[in-house]
Structure formats: structure tokens, C-alpha cells
């Protein structure tokens, strides 16, 4: 009986540690994204570079999962964002927008990242997009 209690206790501690680690990862993602503004360094859609469509845009992410699209220092649109360190994904939704902001909407796979950049890709049907965000 004593072994059973020890084993059950061990697994309870492990599951608590996993939750703590997951929370730390989530906090790190939020901290990295919300600390400063970001701009699109590169945007490629189906092999065509369209980065210049995003000239003048900066993005400010907030811990309440909102994001401002700022063009020429004026908030043009507020949307929502989410990040998941476990699945290496980030998502954005700017409702009722046109190109270029509509190109950012959806879930993106994070292919590479650091505290100062994120490279992400999105595939939908035959469409493939790759974006590199960099911190100002």
C-alpha cells in the first residue's frame, strides 16, 4: 500500500510540474511578444515577395491577446492574437480588413524564433505564405 501511495504521489508531482512548465512557456511567449513593437521584415505569398505591401505597419501585441496594427503611427485596426509554445503556433485575427492585413489572419506555424524575430509559415490549400516579424 505504501508503494502505491508513493507512486501516486510521484505522478501527482510530475503532473503539477508539467503544468508549471507549460505555464512558464506560455508566459515566455506572452512576454516576448508584448515587449516592444514588431514589423514585417519579409512576407512571401506563393513564392512572390510582397513585403512592400506592409510598409509603414508596426504591430503592438498586448497580454490581453489583442494586437494593434499601426500604420504611420496611427492605430488602423485592433485584432486578436494567440500563441501556443507547445504546438509552436501563433494566430491572428483582424476582423473586417482587406489586403494586406487580411493576409496575416489565421494560424501560423512558428518555424524559427528568438526574442527579436519570428519566422512563421501558413499553408491553406495551394496557398503558402511565409512571414518574418522583427522587433523594433
Q: What confidence tens digit (pLDDT) does each residue in 102-117 have?
A: 999 999 999 999 999 9
Task: DSSP letter for 35, please.
Answer: S
Q: What is the pLDDT of residues 64-80, one digit of tens each?
A: 999 999 999 999 999 99
* CATH classification number, 2-135, choose in 3.30.450.20, 2.40.50.140, 2.60.40.10, 2.40.128.270: 2.40.128.270
**Which 3 state secondary structure label does DSSP give 62?**
coil
Residue whose grid cell is 524564433 = 113
Element (H, E) at 44: strand 38-45
Predicted confidence (pLDDT) at residue 91 exceeds the cutoff of 60: yes
Residue 58's DSSP bridge partners are 70
Residue ranges of domains in the chain: 2-135
Given this model, what pLDDT does residue 32 score? 76
Residue 66: which of 25, 30, 21, 18 has the closest Cα? 30
What pLDDT is recorded for position 29?
A: 62
Mean pLDDT to the nearest integer, 79-104 = 96
How confident is the model over 15-53, as pLDDT tens digits?
555 555 555 555 566 777 899 999 999 999 999 999 999
- Tell the residue number behind the cell numbers 504546438, with chain if given: 87
**pLDDT for residue 8:** 45
Phi, psi of 31 (to 5 degrees): -60, -45
Residue 135 has pLDDT above 90, yes or no: yes
Phi-psi region of 97 (alpha: psi -120 to 50; beta: other; left: phi over 0): beta
Amino acid at each position: 500500500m505504501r508503494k502505491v501511495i508513493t507512486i501516486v504521489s510521484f505522478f501527482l508531482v510530475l503532473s503539477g510540474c508539467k503544468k508549471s512548465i507549460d505555464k512558464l512557456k506560455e508566459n515566455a511567449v506572452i512576454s516576448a511578444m508584448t515587449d516592444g513593437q514588431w514589423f514585417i521584415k519579409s512576407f512571401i505569398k506563393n513564392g512572390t515577395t510582397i513585403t512592400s505591401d506592409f510598409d509603414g505597419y508596426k504591430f503592438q501585441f498586448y497580454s490581453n491577446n489583442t494586437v494593434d496594427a499601426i500604420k504611420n503611427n496611427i492605430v488602423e485596426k485592433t485584432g486578436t492574437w494567440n500563441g501556443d509554445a507547445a504546438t509552436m503556433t501563433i494566430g491572428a485575427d483582424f476582423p473586417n480588413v482587406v489586403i494586406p492585413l487580411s493576409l496575416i489572419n489565421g494560424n501560423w506555424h512558428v518555424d524559427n524564433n528568438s526574442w527579436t524575430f519570428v519566422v512563421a509559415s501558413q499553408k491553406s490549400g495551394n496557398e503558402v505564405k511565409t512571414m518574418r516579424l522583427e522587433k523594433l
